[in-house]
């Protein structure tokens, strides 16, 4: 609009009184006080779209025949119907807001659950890798234990074979003969000498004692 026709900031007085906060036109059932984008006709029970608190559409509507007929009949709907419509619209707007908040909360919950499941899957994969590594390590240790046991059995087998070979080379008959000859001859000869010396010494000592006693008695 040009500078000669500035944009209005509110409804004209013939429609709404801002001081008394009441609608001045009897045919008006409701108006948009925030943007001035619509006005409701009480007689026709219809809502007209307007631009910036303009009455052009409203005045054009008032000149229509249908509006004049409804106005003569006293209105097609009572005022309470329009008030009920306003309440329904307000409730619908609140329901839309609640639905938006609910959808937002649901999205947050879904995102949180998705992140939780993703973290759990990551932890599960990590745990599976650890289990696989442990299984491989256990398999390696099992093979090493089998190798050690096999080497131990081989060493024991070699030691047994070595003992059997030494035993087969030893002659027990000749060993017993040599041992018996040594015990019969040498042991007898060695044992005879101490017995003779003891007897000789004992006899000599007794004769000396006898002589001493005899000498003592003679004195």
Q: Which of 65, 57, 10 lies closest to 34 in space, CA to CA?
A: 10
Overall residue count recorded for the chain in this entry:
219
Task: Give pLDDT tens digits for 103-137.
Answer: 999 999 999 999 999 999 989 999 999 999 999 99
pLDDT (mean) for 79-94: 74
Q: Could you give the CA distance from residue 109 to residue 71 in angstroms, rounded to a whole number?
A: 55
Q: Could you give the CA distance from residue 152 to residue 71 in angstroms, rounded to a whole number?
A: 117
pLDDT (mean) for 132-146: 92
Task: Give pLDDT tens digits for 199-215.
Answer: 545 555 556 656 656 66
Q: What is the mean pLDDT of the chain?
A: 77
pLDDT (mean) for 48-52: 87
Q: Could you give the CA distance from residue 156 to residue 153 in angstroms, rounded to a whole number?
A: 5
Q: Could you give the CA distance from residue 67 to residue 16 in angstroms, rounded to a whole number?
A: 20
The SS3 call for residue 207 is helix
State the sign of the Cα–Cα–Cα–Cα dihedral 128, 132, 133, 134.
positive
Phi, psi (rounded to 5 degrees) for 38? -155, 160
Neighbours of 82 (CB within 10 A): 19
pLDDT of residue 46: 85
pLDDT of residue 91: 84
Q: Rounded to two decimals, what is the model's pTM? A: 0.32
Q: Which of 160, 133, 97 lies closest to 105 in space, CA to CA?
A: 97
pLDDT (mean) for 178-194: 49
pLDDT of residue 2: 45
pLDDT of residue 75: 52
């Amino acid at each position: 609009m040009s500078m000669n026709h500035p944009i209005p900031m509110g409804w004209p007085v013939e429609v709404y009184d801002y001081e008394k906060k009441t609608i001045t036109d009897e045919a008006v059932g409701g108006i948009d006080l925030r943007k001035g984008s619509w006005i409701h006709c009480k007689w026709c029970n219809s809502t007209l779209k307007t631009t910036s608190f303009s009455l052009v559409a409203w005045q054009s509507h008032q000149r229509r025949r249908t509006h004049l007929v409804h106005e003569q009949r006293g209105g097609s709907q009572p005022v309470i119907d329009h008030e009920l419509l306003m309440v329904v619209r307000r409730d619908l707007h609140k329901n839309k807001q609640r639905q938006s908040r609910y959808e937002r909360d649901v999205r947050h919950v879904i995102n949180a659950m998705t992140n939780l499941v993703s973290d759990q899957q990551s932890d599960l994969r990590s745990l599976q890798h650890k289990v696989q590594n442990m299984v491989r390590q256990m398999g390696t240790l099992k093979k090493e234990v089998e190798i050690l046991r096999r080497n131990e059995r081989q060493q024991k087998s070699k030691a047994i074979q070595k003992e059997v070979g030494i035993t087969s080379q030893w002659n027990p008959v000749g060993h017993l003969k040599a041992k018996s000859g040594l015990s019969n001859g040498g042991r007898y000869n060695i044992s005879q000498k101490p017995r003779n010396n003891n007897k000789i010494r004992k006899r000599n000592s007794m004769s000396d004692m006898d002589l001493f006693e005899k000498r003592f008695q003679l004195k």
